Amino acid sequence: MKSPVDYLHGSTLLALILVVALLPAPAAADASTQPAWQAASSPGLGGPVRPPQSVPSRTPAALPQGWYDGSIQYSTITNCVSIIQDTPYTEYGAGTYVGYFAHPDAGQPAVNDVYYVHVVVEAIGNACSGQQGYIDIGLPSNTTLAISGSNPVYCFANGVALTPASDCPQTLPGSSYNTGMYQIPPPAPYITWPMPIGQPWEFQIPVRSTTTLTSSNFQAKVLVLDGNSSPWLNPTAPVYVWAGSSTPTVSKFKSTGSKDGWVLESGENTNAGGSMDSAAITVILGDNAAKKQYRTILSFNTGAILPDNAVITSVKLKLRGISVSPAASDPISLLQGIFVDVRKGFFSSSSGLQLADFGAPGNKTAGPFSPSLSGGSYNIRLPSKMFAYINKGGTGGGMTQFRLRFKLDDNNNSIANLLSLASGNHPTTSYRPLLIITYTP
């Protein structure tokens, strides 16, 4: 008997995809339901349903732990053999259900935990055309995808991990049919999943909820292409997320001196670097007498410590003030505050300081900030819109870079207005730039 994988890579699918392209808009669901909300086992479509390979990190205190699934949604078809024998009768065509992996007695999943939801789809009736499935999922409220190297999507064909593993999608695009939902795409160039009779597909997807949930629905919308009514099936399951007791973690990162430095503009209004220094013990913001702007690059190896599933709640830059020019002046006020650009990885073609860093695009900008000197340092608390660009993995060698610049590139007074800060090369270790990140694991 062929497995779903055989059908996925077989020639039969291409012909069916051509049929799909000719179909009119799908009809509303013609579905039956089997009441059930069960823990720890499949509602009974036939194939084994496996627990996720990466389960929530807290140790279970007691049973039950397992899948909490909603009711099965069925389509109906006319049995193919009965048509041939001129005694047509209807039967269930396909069934699908959804659920999530939980341990209620242990309060799992908790807020900000990574946990798994799943959708199971199986053909159980004999349609003359065969059956194919297009699968979308809709997440509970205040919940996002949490796919990463340590928390991947898992795909099972008749209870066996999909091979090759590259056929299991690790990116879920937005649905073309259902607003706000995500598609579970088959491997290119296919657009639907083959559904051989009696052999289920199961897809396990990691998610994270940022608030407690009480009976907030996880759902799927499955378009069953069956040569009959080709309905949308809409299985749902109520999801519960508990408050938990995650303790915030604070990590402090000193900048990497060899990659820090200042870049001076090549000329007034060129927006291009002309000279730079990555070895100095200070970095500079401001303008010089020739009306050229100084910008500073700071580099932090955040990916070396932050876990992939870290939920960042606070980010602060602590910068040691060294001097201002002219003496007793206030360049922060004079040049209207500090802008901070963030880059996940590095601004130019490598993590080392480059002239191109002066104008290279960043991921996000915040400011202007006007921090006061406190205890010899300036503290800049960055907004949450920048958190997504704090590197938690291997992109750019795990580096997160910041570029500091004043709002005014120069004030046209032909006087150097400068703020000098300690760089990562400063001989006094405690003076070096510090990035302070608070997160929950």
Tell me which residue of 380, 377, 382, 341 sits closest to 362, measured CA to CA: 341
Residue range(s) defining the domain that contains residue 431:
249-440
Q: Domain check: are 10 and 129 in the same one? A: yes
Q: Domain check: are 84 and 144 in the same one? A: yes
Q: How many domains does the chain have?
A: 2
Q: Domain check: are 230 and 106 in the same one? A: yes
What are the pLDDT tens digits along the chain (441 aa)?
455 555 555 534 333 333 333 333 333 334 333 322 223 333 444 444 445 543 333 333 343 688 999 999 999 999 999 999 999 999 999 999 999 999 888 788 998 889 999 999 999 999 999 999 999 999 999 999 999 988 999 999 998 988 888 899 999 999 999 999 999 999 989 999 999 999 999 999 999 999 999 999 999 999 999 999 999 999 999 999 998 766 788 999 999 999 999 999 999 989 999 999 999 999 999 999 999 999 999 999 999 888 887 888 899 999 999 999 999 999 999 999 999 999 999 999 888 999 999 999 999 999 899 999 999 999 999 998 999 999 987 666 789 999 999 999 888 899 999 999 999 999 999 999 999 999 876
3-state SS of 271-315 is CCEEEEECCCCEEEEEECCCCCEEEEEEEECHHHCCCCCCEEEEE
Residue type, 75: S
Contact indicator for 390, 296 with CB cutoff of 8 Å: no
Q: Domain check: are 47 and 175 in the same one? A: yes
Tell if the pTM clears 0.85, that is, is over it: no
CB atoms within 10 A of CB 244: 17
Tell me which residue of 321, 324, 293 sits closest to 379, measured CA to CA: 321
Residues 6+ apart with CB under 8 A from 53: 154
Domain end (from 191, 218, 241): 241
Contact indicator for 132, 194 with CB cutoff of 8 Å: yes
- Between CA 132 and CA 16 the distance in angstroms is 8
E strand or H helix at 15, and its extent? helix 12-22
Domain end (from 241, 272, 293): 241
Q: Domain check: are 157 and 55 in the same one? A: yes
Domain end (from 221, 241, 261): 241
CB atoms within 10 A of CB 197: 16
Query: What pairs with residue 253 in β-bridges?
Result: 435
CATH of the domain at 291: 2.60.120
Q: Domain check: are 235 and 296 in the same one? A: no
